[in-house]
Amino acid sequence: MVKKGKPECRNGSRSGCPVNVSLERFGDRWSLLLIRDMMVRGYKTFKEFEESGEGIATNILANRLTRLQAAGIVRTEPDPEDGRRVHYRLTEKGIELAPVMLELLLWAARWEETAAPCEVMQYMEANRGAVVEEVKRRWRERDPVPFLPPFKD
Q: What are the residues binding a second copy (CB under 8 A)?
A: 7, 9-11, 14-25, 27-29, 32-33, 36, 53-55, 72, 93, 96-97, 99-116, 150-151, 153
Query: By CB under 7 A, is residue 62 in contact with DNA?
Result: yes
Cα dihedral 102, 106, 109, 112 sign: negative
To the nearest whole angstrom, how small is the minimum distance from the Cβ of residue 30 to a second copy?
8
Type and span of the H or E element at 118 = helix 118-126
Q: Identify any residues that bridge with 77 across adjacent strands, giving them in sequence order.
A: 87
To the nearest whole angstrom, how small is the minimum distance from the Cβ of residue 45 to a second copy?
19
Q: Are 147 and 134 in contact (CB under 8 A)?
A: yes
To the nearest whole angstrom, how small is the minimum distance from the Cβ of residue 151 to DNA?
21
Q: Are 144 and 42 in contact (CB under 8 A)?
A: yes
Q: Are 53 and 150 in contact (CB under 8 A)?
A: yes
Query: By CB under 7 A, is residue 114 in contact with DNA?
Result: no
From the list DNA, a second copy, none, which binds 143 (C-beta under 5 to 8 Å, kind-based)? none
User: Which residues, 6 or more positions from 56, have their beta carbon under 8 angstroms from its beta carbon?
Assistant: 30, 33, 49, 50, 64
Query: By CB under 7 A, is residue 56 in contact with DNA?
Result: yes
- Please pick, from the candidates 29, 110, 137, 140, the single residue that binds DNA as defined by CB under 7 A: 29
From the list a second copy, DNA, none, which binds 19 (C-beta under 5 to 8 Å, kind-based)? a second copy
